[in-house]
Amino acid sequence: MAGGAVTLTTAAIAALLTTAPVATAATSSFTAVADTYVQGSTPSTNYGTSTQFVVDNSPVRQSFLKFTVSGLSEAVTSAKLRIRTVSSNSGSNAGGTFKAMTNTTWSESGTTWNNKPAIDGATLGSIGSVAKDTWYEIDVTSLVTGNGTFSIGATSASADGAYYDARESGADAPQLVITTGSGPSPSPTSTSTPPPSGDPVLVGAGDIANSGSGDSATANLLDGISGTVFTAGDNVYDSGTASEFATYYDPTWGRHKARTKPAPGNHDYNTSGATGYYGYFGAGAGPSGRGYYSYDLGSWHVVSLNSEVSMSVGSAQEQWLRSDLAGSSKPCTLAYWHKPRFTSGANHAPDTSTGPLVQALYDNNADVIVTGHNHQYERFAQMNPSGQLDTTRGARHFVAGMGGASHYGFGTILPNSQARNSDTYGVLKFTLHAGSYDWQFVPEAGKTYGDSGTTSCH
């Protein structure tokens, strides 16, 4: 480490590791081992090799899915069935009703209308109107209680059929996402425990929610960490629609919405005006449509900025930032947004257009800058706006794009890059003391990568 920028002894590492919250939940995903549908008008036909399964009432079509769950060593706290509508159909006004089944011996290649198993169990859930090429989720926790084989049947009372990708489709196959742990998982609408009474905690990441399970893994980490949650943009993929926020973000990070202070990213702006983002977060995203705001946590002034609107010298955002920083009486400052000024990631180059924001923060002695955009973790030393080492006034930069979206690799490693990881989802936790801060990379369950340290404010 250079110039005493980081005070990190063996004892400090041990203290950080022993006092960090332990994530007691783990997430496992299982793909269907069988899925098919049957059709009343073709009673002897088997559709087991089809790339789709269908629920419909004209003609009458029923679907069956089977999952085998193994390797669980703890109690199931949550089980979600995730299915994706096909891209070749415009959608339906009714996505179907899904029920448990007692028959788990039916055959994908042998099931027809004439010999179909009974859909005889309790109703697990129903899906309303569906759009094409979109993931949907049904809570099946009441059925999936541990290791074993489970069958689910689906029907519809609508003459407008709903078509879903079958396991033969490959990447869009039905998924069973199971969370295990020592305590109950919060429901998607519940809020976390309030921040602790001591030094405040700020925790989060960017590049978060999509159809995979990475967002579930990082949301599980937040379940065990009190404090304020930040997001560093690209909250949902691919287009920032209201439907994507409801389908991907809300069931995972959305259960911490009440304590979240977000920032937008370029994927959030793939919907014109980022209306999905502003509509979902409401007042939590600051003034609607503007995308930048600030708040205080203990001795810290925290600024959420917007890399998707003008950041140039003299722009509304840059002028607002300078005025906001000048008006703060807090001794320490942290800022976050989406596109990084400095990054060694191979997918997105350092974004020089963010330079005026970095300069304004440097001019006002800011301590920490957090971004995302590249789907990985990287920590830099304290630097000036040109990327040169500056342990006197420089801000420490973090790229925290490991919130759940698929990982990116590294390219040319920039000067002053001190820590990197590109294969572990996680969250970045800051403990904000009166004159210093601790940082800690908290990895997803089952992974061991870690990074932590302490630095004084300017």
What pLDDT, on the 0 to 100 scale, is given for residue 87? Answer: 87
> Sorting pLDDT into bands at 50, 70 and 90, what band is 103?
very high
Q: How far is CA 203 from the centre of its chain?
A: 13
Gap between the Cα atoms of 156 and 176, Å rounded: 21
Gap between the Cα atoms of 204 and 371, Å rounded: 11
Residue 300 pLDDT > 80? yes
- If we measure between CA atoms, which residue out of 37, 32, 13 comes closest to residue 169? 32
Please give the structure tokens belonging to residue 49. 């090799």
Please give the structure tokens belonging to residue 361. 């923060």
β-bridge partners, 229: 203, 260
Contact 299, 330 (CB under 8 A): yes
- If we measure between CA atoms, which residue out of 341, 332, 335 comes closest to residue 320? 335
On whether the pTM is more than 0.85, the answer is: no
Using DSSP's 3-state secondary structure scheme, residue 150 falls into: strand
pLDDT per position as a tens digit, 154-201: 999 999 999 999 999 877 889 898 888 744 333 332 233 333 336 999
> Sorting pLDDT into bands at 50, 70 and 90, what band is 25?
low
Residue 12 pLDDT > 70? no
Helices (H) and strands (E) in the chain, counts: 6, 26
- If we measure between CA atoms, which residue out of 349, 390, 344, 345 comes closest to residue 366? 390
Gap between the Cα atoms of 55 and 58, Å rounded: 9
Q: Average pLDDT of 25-35?
A: 83
Give 1-24 as a DSSP string: --TT-----HHHHHHHHHHSPP--
> Sorting pLDDT into bands at 50, 70 and 90, what band is 143?
very high
Q: Average pLDDT of 425-440?
A: 96
Q: Average pLDDT of 111-140?
A: 91
Q: Cis peptide leading into 188, omega within 30 of 0?
A: no
Gap between the Cα atoms of 241 and 270, Å rounded: 8
- If we measure between CA atoms, which residue out of 218, 191, 196, 153 comes closest to residue 372? 218
**More confident site: 361 or 15:** 361
β-bridge partners, 135: 84
Query: What mean pLDDT value characterizes the chain?
Result: 89
Percent of the chain whose predicted confidence (pLDDT) is above 70: 91
Please give the structure tokens belonging to residue 225. 């960490």
β-bridge partners, 131: 91
Gap between the Cα atoms of 409 and 412, Å rounded: 10
Gap between the Cα atoms of 179 and 215, Å rounded: 12
> Sorting pLDDT into bands at 50, 70 and 90, what band is 275?
very high
pLDDT per position as a tens digit, 222-258: 999 999 999 999 999 999 999 999 999 999 999 999 9
Q: How far is CA 432 from the centre of its chain?
A: 24
Residue 453 pLDDT > 80? yes
Q: In Å, what is the CA distance from 123 to each residue of 95, 126, 132, 144, 367?
A: 14, 8, 24, 13, 53
- If we measure between CA atoms, which residue out of 338, 389, 328, 316 comes closest to residue 361? 328
Gap between the Cα atoms of 278 and 299, Å rounded: 28
**More confident site: 18 or 382:** 382
Percent of the chain whose predicted confidence (pLDDT) is above 90: 77
4 — alpha (psi -120 to 50), left (phi > 0) or beta? Answer: left
- Which residues are within 8 A (CB) of 131 and not within 5 positions of it... i.e. 6 or more apart? 85, 91, 243
pLDDT per position as a tens digit, 51-89: 999 999 999 999 999 999 888 888 888 888 989 899 889
What pLDDT, on the 0 to 100 scale, is given for residue 406? Answer: 95
